[in-house]
């Protein structure tokens, strides 16, 4: 680091410098002009000292600035990201993983001129290298993205990516790698040669079916180097075969989608095991079996979507909610409402129309406890809206609309949205909301607030309330169709919008029979390694949420192992994060004591195993070659890992970057200047004292 000083000027002209010098000379002349007994040479010294002191003091009064310049060298970062997924161990060419030892030596080989950081990844990115190879999923693009974010605005010289190129989560790594402006050196692990193997490539199925109906699952069967064999496919439940088919293998690289029809003859979560009988000399039998879970429902919950005029939001709302097969949405105009039987519906969605806009609708919403979701827009009559409910009041005299962005509220506790959905919602385009002031009731909880430009406001965009035993939701903006288009353009799906609307509908329709104590999992089937989340709700006699007493729960697996937990209070209700549990089927029994009553709730959930890493056996070195070529790096084989250090040294784009840091400060803040002033005055006093002048 180098530090340089120079004097610059603030708002005062530099011509004041000679004025300060003249002032110092004048002051010294006035002080020492009279003859005295002091030796002439000593008087000249005293004259000079006083001149310098007065000059410095007067110079400080004009507030000059001191510029300091420092130079900070930053060594190039060499990031090592090593694939720690199961496919490396199962299908790799190097079972002793000698390349991993060579990779660990790279930091030592590059020496002090490079800053080497080591990571491993599967589904998530973790620090340090690993030889466990136990990752259940592989997300290469996420690992690249997290490294890019973590070391943003730093001197990233190179990324060393050791993987077989197989990924089963996330987007194409080629797109994410474009955002990482550095050379990527890929280590081509695994074997691209297809071995003799039969496997289930994928099972496509609906996670929900309805009692008494037939449903179809589609099984992708693949076979390599097994021409002439017969694939014996079977589907079983509780050890009993319910379907089967024999498929002849007609080529060395065989793929076929086989539809299998099953029957939903009983309610609940049904577990089906899809398997292919192994053949002689098969590479792996772990990928011959896949387990799926289908929830069989007795009937769909009906939702009525009422509107006063056409709008593109209506189809977006209907399609997003109906991605959950448990819901059936009927859309209708207010004019056609007399032909409908409102009591058949579990939820009313009033899109830009108020509950008192129709006499029949007002009568129904007043007398029944059916939840209502109000959605406000440019076509809404705000006076009717305010009179029809008390959760949110909008005071707007102009009838104007303004753009508002969604800002998720961290304290919201009625239900849970995933972190990715919260992040996406904050980045989506604005909705159009009425311009004015907003007031919410005390029973209202806000999930999304309005952000106007960069200014966060307390105004609600999406909120929920539970008043007098009836749940209500309020969306104070229109333009959900913009969200649908923007999310698909950015991410290729509508997951955030579907989760937002689905979770909102689930909350509004839940507990329609008003059980006093209710416990339910965030979803019925969890993936292996996923945290198990359960929610609990407790109501008093007035059907108001309370969370005073403790809520206990016992989870018991099908193997007989039990897990006991205590719920934590979350807002007005309860929530439990039980962490990741072993795969299998679980029953749970929860209990709470309230008002001298022992309340209980029971249910089931399933944790299904993940076999994603066994679905592909041949490595994808084309992807690794493309990543290296696109970034200006190079692909190497595991036996060439020891040569990486020389390749990185020879890359002229990887070099130390020196950052110049300029800072300005008042000269009056420089302490050693005052030391000089005191030293000069002390020296002058000493000379005068010695000469008898003081």
- Note the CATH number of domain 197-295: 2.60.40.10
**How many residues can be counted in the chain?**
694
CATH 3.40.50.880 domain extents, the chain: 301-509
> 348-359, pLDDT tens digit by residue?
999 988 766 666
CATH 2.60.40.1930 domain extents, the chain: 517-608
Mean pLDDT across 370-381: 89
> 71-126, pLDDT tens digit by residue?
888 899 999 999 999 888 887 655 556 899 999 999 999 988 999 999 999 989 99
> 126-177, pLDDT tens digit by residue?
999 999 998 888 999 999 999 999 999 899 999 999 999 999 888 899 999 9
Classify 517-608 by CATH class: mainly beta
> 635-674, pLDDT tens digit by residue?
999 999 999 999 999 998 898 888 777 777 777 777 888 8
pLDDT at 4 over 50: no
Write down the pLDDT at residue 629: 95
- Using CA atoms, how far apart are residues 414 and 507, in angstroms rounded to an integer? 8
- Has domain 301-509 been given CATH number 3.40.50.720? no
> 268-318, pLDDT tens digit by residue?
888 899 999 999 988 888 889 988 888 887 767 889 999 988 899 999 999
- Using CA atoms, how far apart are residues 97 and 90, in angstroms rounded to an integer? 12
Write down the pLDDT at residue 545: 79
What band does 694 get if pLDDT is binned at 50, 70 and 90? low
Closest CA to 374 of 355, 393, 401: 355
Mean pLDDT across 565-589: 91
Which has the minimum average pLDDT: 59-63, 328-332, 422-426? 59-63
Write down the pLDDT at residue 24: 87
Write down the pLDDT at residue 151: 94
What band does 15 get if pLDDT is binned at 50, 70 and 90? confident
pLDDT at 471 over 90: no
CATH superfamily of 76-192+618-655: von Willebrand factor, type A domain (3.40.50.410)
Mean pLDDT across 435-452: 89
Q: How many CB atoms lie within 10 A of CB 298?
A: 9
pLDDT at 327 over 60: yes
CA 362 to chain centre: 42
Write down the pLDDT at residue 3: 38
pLDDT at 10 over 80: no
- Using CA atoms, how far apart are residues 242 and 454, in angstroms rounded to an integer? 59
- Using CA atoms, how far apart are residues 101 and 130, in angstroms rounded to an integer? 10
Whole-number percent of the chain with pLDDT over 90: 45
Write down the pLDDT at residue 687: 84
What band does 550 get if pLDDT is binned at 50, 70 and 90? very high
8 Å CB contact between 686 and 680: no
Report how far apart, in Å, the C-alpha atoms of 359 and of each of 34, 524, 540, 587 are. Answer: 108, 40, 32, 47
pLDDT at 513 over 60: no
CATH 2.60.40.10 domain extents, the chain: 197-295
8 Å CB contact between 577 and 533: yes
CA angle 339–342–348, rounded 5-degree value: 120
Closest CA to 373 of 480, 495, 496, 520: 480
What's the DSSP call for residue 494? -
Which has the minimum average pLDDT: 19-28, 245-254, 353-362, 411-420? 353-362
CATH 3.40.50.410 domain extents, the chain: 76-192+618-655
pTM value > 0.85: no
Burial of 342 (0-12, 13-18, 19+ CB in 10 A): middle
Mean pLDDT across 552-571: 93
- Using CA atoms, how far apart are residues 569 and 550, in angstroms rounded to an integer? 9
pLDDT at 449 over 80: yes
Write down the pLDDT at residue 343: 80
Kindly state the tokens that stand for 311. 């709008």
**What's the chain's Rg over C-alpha atoms?**
37
- In the predicted model, what is the mean pLDDT of the chain? 87
b/e per residue 244-266 (b: at least 16 CB within 10 A): eeebebeeeebeeeeebebebee
Closest CA to 582 of 521, 534, 527: 527
Write down the pLDDT at residue 524: 81
Burial of 60 (0-12, 13-18, 19+ CB in 10 A): middle
pLDDT at 511 over 70: no
Q: At what angle do helices 40-61 and 671-690 cross, to 10 degrees?
A: 150
């Amino acid at each position: 680091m180098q530090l340089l000083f120079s004097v610059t000027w603030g708002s005062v002209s530099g011509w004041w410098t000679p004025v300060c010098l003249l002032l110092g000379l004048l002051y010294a002349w006035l002080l020492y002009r009279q003859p005295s007994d002091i030796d002439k040479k000593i008087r000249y010294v005293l004259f000079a000292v006083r001149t310098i002191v007065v000059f410095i003091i007067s110079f400080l009064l004009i507030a000059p600035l001191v510029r300091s310049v420092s130079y900070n060298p930053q060594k190039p970062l060499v990031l090592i990201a090593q694939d720690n997924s199961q496919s490396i161990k199962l299908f790799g060419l190097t079972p002793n993983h000698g390349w991993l030892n060579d990779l660990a030596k790279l930091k030592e080989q590059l020496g002090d001129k490079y800053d080497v950081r080591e990571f491993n990844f599967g589904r998530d990115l973790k620090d340090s290298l690993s030889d466990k190879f136990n990752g259940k999923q592989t997300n290469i693009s996420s690992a690249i993205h997290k490294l890019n974010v973590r070391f943003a605005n730093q001197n990233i010289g190179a990324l060393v990516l050791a993987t077989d190129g197989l990924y089963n989560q996330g987007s194409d790594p080629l797109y994410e790698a474009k955002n990482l402006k550095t050379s990527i050196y890929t280590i081509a692990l695994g074997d691209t040669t297809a071995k003799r193997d039969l496997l289930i490539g994928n099972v496509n199925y609906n996670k929900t079916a309805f009692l008494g109906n037939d449903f179809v699952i589609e099984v992708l069967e693949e076979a390599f180097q097994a021409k002439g064999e017969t694939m014996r496919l079977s589907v079983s439940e509780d050890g009993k075969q319910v379907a089967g088919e024999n498929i002849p293998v007609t080529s060395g690289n065989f793929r076929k989608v086989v539809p299998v029809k099953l029957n939903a003859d009983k309610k609940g979560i049904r577990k089906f095991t899809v398997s292919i009988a192994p053949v002689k000399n098969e590479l792996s039998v772990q990928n011959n079996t896949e387990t799926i879970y289908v929830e069989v429902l007795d009937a769909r919950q009906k939702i009525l979507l009422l509107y006063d005029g056409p709008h593109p939001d209506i189809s977006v709302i209907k399609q997003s909610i109906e991605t959950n097969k448990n819901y059936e949405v009927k859309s209708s105009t207010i004019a056609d409402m007399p032909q409908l039987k409102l009591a058949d519906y579990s939820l009313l969605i009033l899109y830009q129309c108020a509950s008192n806009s129709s006499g029949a609708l007002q009568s129904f919403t007043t007398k029944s406890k059916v939840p209502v979701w109000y959605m406000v827009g440019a076509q809404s009559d705000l006076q009717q809206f305010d009179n029809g409910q008390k959760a949110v009041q909008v005071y707007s005299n102009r009838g104007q609309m303004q753009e508002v962005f969604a800002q998720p509220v961290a304290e919201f506790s009625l239900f849970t949205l995933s972190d990715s959905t919260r992040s996406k919602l904050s980045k989506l385009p604005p909705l159009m909301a009425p311009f004015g002031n907003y007031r919410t009731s005390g029973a209202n909880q806000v999930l999304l607030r309005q952000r106007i430009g960069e200014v966060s406001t307390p105004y609600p965009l999406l909120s929920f309330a539970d008043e007098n035993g009836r749940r209500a939701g309020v969306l104070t903006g229109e333009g959900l169709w913009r969200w649908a288009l923007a999310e698909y353009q950015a991410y290729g799906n509508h997951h955030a919008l579907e989760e937002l609307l689905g979770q909102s509908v689930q909350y509004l329709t839940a507990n329609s029979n008003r059980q006093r104590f209710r416990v339910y999992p965030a979803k019925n089937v969890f993936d292996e390694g996923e945290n198990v989340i359960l929610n609990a709700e407790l109501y008093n006699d007035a059907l108001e949420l309370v969370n005073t007493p403790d809520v206990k729960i016992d989870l018991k697996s099908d193997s007989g192992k039990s897990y006991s937990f205590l719920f934590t209070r979350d807002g007005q209700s309860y929530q439990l994060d039980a962490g990741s549990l072993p795969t299998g089927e679980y029953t749970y029994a929860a209990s709470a004591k309230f008002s001298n009553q022992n309340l209980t709730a029971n249910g089931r959930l399933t944790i299904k195993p993940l076999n994603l890493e066994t679905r592909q056996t041949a490595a994808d070195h084309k992807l690794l070659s493309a990543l290296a070529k696109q970034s200006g790096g190079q692909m190497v084989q595991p036996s060439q890992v020891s040569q990486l250090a020389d390749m990185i040294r020879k890359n002229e784009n990887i070099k130390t970057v020196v950052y110049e840091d300029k800072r300005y400060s008042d000269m009056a803040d420089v302490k050693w200047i005052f030391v000089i002033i005191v030293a000069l005055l002390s020296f002058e006093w000493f000379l005068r004292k010695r000469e008898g002048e003081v």
